[in-house]
Structure 1
Amino acid sequence: MKKYDLLIVGAGLFGCVVAHEAHKRGKSVLVIEKRNHIGGNCYTRSVDGINVHQYGAHIFRTADKAIWRYMEQFCEFNHFVNSPIANFKGEIYNMPFNMNTFHALWGVVTPDEARAKIEEQRIPCEDPQNLEQHILSMAGPDIYEKLVRGYTEKQWGRPCTELPPSIMRRIPMRFIYDNNYFRDPYQGIPMGGYTAVMERMLESADIRLETDYLDDREGFDALADLVVYTGPLDALYGYEFGELGYRGLRFEHQLLECPNYQGVAVVNYTDRETPYTRIIEHKHFEFLESPTTVISREYPCDWKPGDEPYYPMEDAENRERYERYRLRAAQEEKLRVGGRLGEYRYYDMQDTVKSALSKAEEWLS
């Protein structure tokens, strides 16, 4: 069989960037992917002419001009700005917490009035031991009960009294009338969807889909001089040191015979009773006008091995367990590990690109 310079396990964003960088350096590359598509969780598919973010909303944003320019090799970005809204039992609030939010909550008009209201509501706590104490000490009960508690408890599957303050160490409170969720100067959605971006990154690589590296690791390793693994390390080593913890997600996609379902790309449902955390209406990412629309409801759920891992549970026990796996992997001469799962980190896309470029420079030079 053909021998390659590089075998990349996983066709997500990290693997795609490394594959492109390897090709630039004259390396031959084989990419294998367990799913039936490339793109990882950034994958988009066309439904009735609408690019659907199959695994949840992915908005590319960065403050690093070099990273933005790098991505522009593969796509043209539109001017989408993320301005989600929160729905608490039918009450609508702008996100992030800004003057529009404070006006809807309390009727305040000026930043001084908003600051005074928050100071009046705060329940001081010098050393918060959990997320509830932390939010109440920073913002008070109105913001906590209407905009934080229900959403966060659904997201993590635990009461806020059992979550560490680090889950929301900084509360994004802005005393300006600005609904732009991100402060990064560069923000947008690739025109034509993310899958087209990944196709361009991989255009010089050989690709095998529906191929599980763990089914024949020895055989796949023999195909290349170097192996880049982007999957979970606990699975790689048969859960030798125990399972790494994750929070799972389930998506419910629906094609609707209407031109506009909710008027915005993302609505967060912040009450505890609504079973999903948000609804995404995909056409608004690309300002599409059409007679139909596609929405996706996002349900957080418990995770078990075999499910798709989404959010790493980065508590002390899991970080310690991951470190044991990392040291185990570091002993293998031809193995390199990276990406969201390989590094057991919640990465934004810009973080993934930065990490992939840095590691490609290290591994391929």
Structure 2
Amino acid sequence: MDKFDYLVVGAGLFGSTFAYEAAQRGYRVKVIDKRAHIGGNIYTERIGGIDVHRYGAHIFHTQNDVIWQYMNQFTEFNHFINAPIANYRGNLYNLPFNMNTFYQLWGITSPAEAQAKIAEQRAELAGKKPQNLEEQAIALVGTDIYQRLIKSYTKKQWGKEPKDLPAFIIKRLPVRFTFDNNYFSDRYQGIPVAGYTAIVEKMLSSDRIVVETNQDFFDNKATYLREYPKIIYSGMIDNYFDYQLGVLEYRSLEFETTYLKNVANYQGNAVVNFTDEETPYTRIIEHKHFNFGQQPDTIITKEYSKEWRQGDEAYYPVNDQKNTHLYKKYVKLAKGEPNVIFGGRLGTYQYLNMDQVVANALALVKREFN
């Protein structure tokens, strides 16, 4: 076979960034992915002129000047600002929690009134160390915001009652006493005008990179380990070791996408979260609004959170104390694989934003080549 210097397992943002940088330095790289396409979870598919985010909404945002400039070599970003809406039993609220939200909740119009109201509602936890997520949320934002905008949404996301979840899951909640609906406080934010898939295509376009989709690493694991000098593995770390120390917990997602013909505007916003318990999905994404689309039709996706089972796609690690302890055991095991480097969300068992994924890949490049 052709000789390669690296095998990259996973054609998502982490693996593709590393492959691009390795190829720029003259190395030959094979990239494999078990899915039928490149891009991992940021994969976008253009349908009717609309870039559909197949695996959930992805808004690129960062404070890091270097990462922003780095990404701009692969794409042009638009000026999209993430301003989601919360729908609680038909009542709409702006997110993140800001003066618009407080007016919608309580009819108040001044920051002083809002601060006093939240302080009053936080009082029931005054002096008590929160023992679970419910108490932590109330200690941060009070009872009204918790009951309408956090409690049921959290239950749907995690599949557990908030009082049964550890307090550290919510370390902080953004509360602004200004009329500012921008969800992120990062300096840079936007959506690639050509979609995310186009970014990964450019990263993997070198003649030093060979890409193979529909290739499951575990179908030929022994062969790959034998024939490739170095492997960059971005899959689940516990899966790599055949779950021999136990199974790490993840949350999975299901997506129900509908093409709505002759509907130019379904919900008026890119993302609407449904924070009541009766609605089974967590949010509806209307994809055209990410790029300010004017198409005569629209495409929506209902997103459902569900328990992960072996064989499902893993989207979010459950970083509680039990799982963190187990992950550390796998890290020790990984040190016995000197030719395998574990990276990305699943390889390092942590929730990472896209800019953090790129930063981690570039940090690996620096360690590997400098």
Mark yes or no: TM-score above 0.5: yes
Q: Please, which of 332, 355, 360 is the counterpart of residue 360 of structure 2?
A: 355
| Residue in 2 that maps onto 1:171 | 173
Q: Distance in 1 between matches of 2:88 and 2:100?
A: 15
Offset, 1:223? 3.5
Q: Which stretches in structure 2 are left out of the alignment for 5+ residues?
A: none
Alpha-carbon displacement from aligned partner over 1:247-290 (angstroms, at most 9, x marks no partner): 11100000002000000000000001100000000000000101
Q: For 1:176-195, list aligned pairs within 5 A.
A: 176-195=178-197
| Deviates most, 338-347 or 310-319 | 310-319
Partner secondary structure for residue 229 of structure 2: strand
Q: Identity of aligned pairs, percent?
A: 51
| Residue in 2 that maps onto 1:64 | 64
Q: Distance in 2 between matches of 1:156 and 1:308?
A: 16
Offset, 1:326? 1.4
The one-letter code sitting in structure 1 at the alignment partner of 2:32 is: I
| Residue in 2 that maps onto 1:118 | 118
| Residue in 1 that maps onto 2:298 | 293
Q: Distance in 1 between matches of 2:115 and 2:311?
A: 47
Q: Distance in 2 between matches of 1:292 and 1:224?
A: 47
Q: For 1:74-223, list aligned pairs within 5 A.
A: 74-122=74-122, 123-125=124-126, 126-204=128-206, 205-223=209-227
Q: Is the 8 A contact 1:78 1:189 kept in 2?
A: yes
Q: Distance in 1 between matches of 2:234 and 2:369?
A: 16
The one-letter code sitting in structure 1 at the alignment partner of 2:213 is: L
Q: For 1:250-265, list aligned pairs within 5 A.
A: 250-257=254-261, 258-265=263-270
Q: Distance in 2 between matches of 1:174 and 1:295?
A: 30
Q: Distance in 2 between matches of 1:12 and 1:166?
A: 29
Q: Is the 8 A contact 1:2 1:223 kept in 2?
A: no
The one-letter code sitting in structure 1 at the alignment partner of 2:11 is: A
Alpha-carbon displacement from aligned partner over 1:3-47 (angstroms, at most 9, x marks no partner): 101110000100000001101111110001010000000000011
Offset, 1:221? 2.5
| Residue in 1 that maps onto 2:26 | 26
| Residue in 2 that maps onto 1:303 | 308
Query: Kindly tell me: are residues 132 and 168 of structure 1, through their superposed partners in 2, closer, same or farther at Cα, counting changes over 3 Å?
Result: same
Offset, 1:216? 1.0
| Residue in 1 that maps onto 2:236 | 232
Q: Distance in 2 between matches of 1:21 and 1:223?
A: 22
| Residue in 2 that maps onto 1:54 | 54
The runs of 4+ residues in structure 1 deviating greater than 3 Å are: none
Q: Distance in 1 between matches of 2:23 and 2:51?
A: 28
The one-letter code sitting in structure 1 at the alignment partner of 2:186 is: D
Q: Distance in 1 between matches of 2:349 and 2:140?
A: 29
Offset, 1:95? 0.2
The one-letter code sitting in structure 1 at the alignment partner of 2:141 is: A
Q: Please, which of 324, 327, 347 is the counterpart of residue 329 of structure 2?
A: 324
Across the aligned residues of Structure 1 and Structure 2, the Cα RMSD in angstroms comes to 0.9
Aligned pair count? 365
Q: Is the 8 A contact 2:140 2:172 kept in 1?
A: no
Q: Which stretches in structure 1 are left out of the alignment for 5+ residues?
A: none
Q: Distance in 2 between matches of 1:47 and 1:201?
A: 23
Partner secondary structure for residue 51 of structure 1: strand
